Amino acid sequence: MKYLVTGGAGYVGSVVAQHLLEAGHEVTVLDNLSTGFRAGVPAGAAFVEGDIRDAAKWLDPSFDGVLHFAASSQVGESVVKPEKYWENNVGGSMALLAAMREARVRTLVFSSTAATYGEPEQTPIPETAPTRPTSPYGASKLAVDHMITSEAVAHGLAAVSLRYFNVAGAYGAYGERHDPESHLIPLVLQVAQGRRDAISVYGDDYPTPDGTCVRDYIHVADLAEAHLLALTAARPGEHLICNLGNGNGFSVREVIETVREVTGHPIPEVTAPRRGGDPAVLVASADTAREKLGWNPTRADLAGIVADAWEFAQSITREH
């Protein structure tokens, strides 16, 4: 099959593109390199440097589907520059859907996010939980989910939105290199590499066992497998929404301790005040993904996730 991967020069898109190639599919990556890297595009994929808002230039009926990762995804930035998030995430996705309609490409897998839920009322969080995003980033992703639902109903699109919780780890040559980095595991690894003096722990008085926030970390390779399953599970006229997480939370302090064990570095930490909008616990119920996609994550072990991310972090430092 032939797939367009938007955002395939970024972290998650590059890993999924590589999995598609390994499964024997033909892949074209469309990426404007705003946060991605040319080196992130897997060797076997065709590459188009361009914007999703111009997707109509490259989409044609020879494509069997689209995997849509391209987005702006910094929660903090979205609070101070919301217009960028409405323009890129909502405007960009609207243009992509129009191009798909025009080219009669009728299958879509979309990267949604746990940020669509906001502060949870129950944990683990099911897909039926209220969606009350606390940032423009989460709101923009939720708007795209609504857009996709109506596209499926009105025009027969076969669509799956995957709501990722915290993606982590690496897959061989493909891993996380956001700049600025905002995710905990790569930030702690930067301390291990001597690129940062200490890790800040935002709040240690949450109602959790050690007082620090608890998050659900999912290995990027497990996440990639869910995308391949979603392509076959998508049904015309239906929009399936699935959370992707391990259902197991780890606290900020547990992550730091695991990085100490994996890297052998002492990792100094500094306790800072809580950040606004950080829920105490964010853990997914992934029962829908297991049931509807037949998904079975196999890399839930935090030490293994950290070890893969550590290997990747060292490899890109050697490159530079």
Ligand X SMILES: NC(=O)c1ccc[n+]([C@@H]2O[C@H](COP(=O)([O-])OP(=O)(O)OC[C@H]3O[C@@H](n4cnc5c(N)ncnc54)[C@H](O)[C@@H]3O)[C@@H](O)[C@H]2O)c1
> Can you give the binding site for ligand X, defined by CB under 6 A?
6-7, 9-13, 30-36, 51-52, 69-71, 73, 88, 92, 111, 113, 164, 166-167, 178
CA 129/CA 121 separation, integer angstroms: 8
Q: How far is the CB of 300 from ligand X (least distance, A)?
A: 16
Catalytic status, residue 3 = no
User: Which residue, chain included where needed, has tokens 């905002």?
Assistant: 182
Q: Other C-beta atoms within 10 Å of 235: how many? A: 13
Label residue 149 exposed, middle or buried (CB < 10 Å: 0-12, 13-18, 19+): middle
11, 117, 137, 171: the catalytic one is 137
Q: Measured between alpha carbons, how far is 172 from 156 in angstroms, rounded to an integer?
A: 37
Q: Report the residue number, 71 or 280, with the smaller CB distance to ligand X.
A: 71
Q: Which residues of 62-72 are buried (b: 16+ CB within 10 A; e: fewer)?
A: ebebbbbbbbb
Cα 68 to Cα 5, 197, 222, distances in angstroms: 6, 36, 17
Nearer to ligand X, 178 or 265 (CB): 178
Report the residue number, 88 or 131, with the smaller CB distance to ligand X.
88
- In the structure encoding, which two tokens stand for residue 44, read together? 């076997």
Q: Residue 51 or residue 211: which is nearer to ligand X going by CB?
A: 51
SS (H, E, C) 161-194: EEEECEEECCECCECCCCCCCCCHHHHHHHHHCC
Distance CA 162, CA 219 (A): 14
Closest distance of CB 92 from ligand X, Å: 5
Q: What is the DSSP letter of 317?
A: H
Query: Is the CB of residue 177 less than 8 Å from the CB of residue 315?
Result: no
Could you tell me the smallest distance in angstroms from the CB atom of residue 170 to ligand X?
Answer: 12
- Cα Rg for the chain, rounded, in angstroms? 19
CB 191 within 8 A of CB 198: yes
Element (H, E) at 200: strand 199-202
Nearer to ligand X, 113 or 288 (CB): 113
Instruction: Considering the complex, state which of residue 72 and residue 212 has its C-beta at the smaller distance from ligand X.
Output: 72
Is the CB of residue 140 less than 8 Å from the CB of residue 90?
Answer: yes
The CA distance from 140 to 238, in Å, is 21
Residues carrying an active site annotation: 137
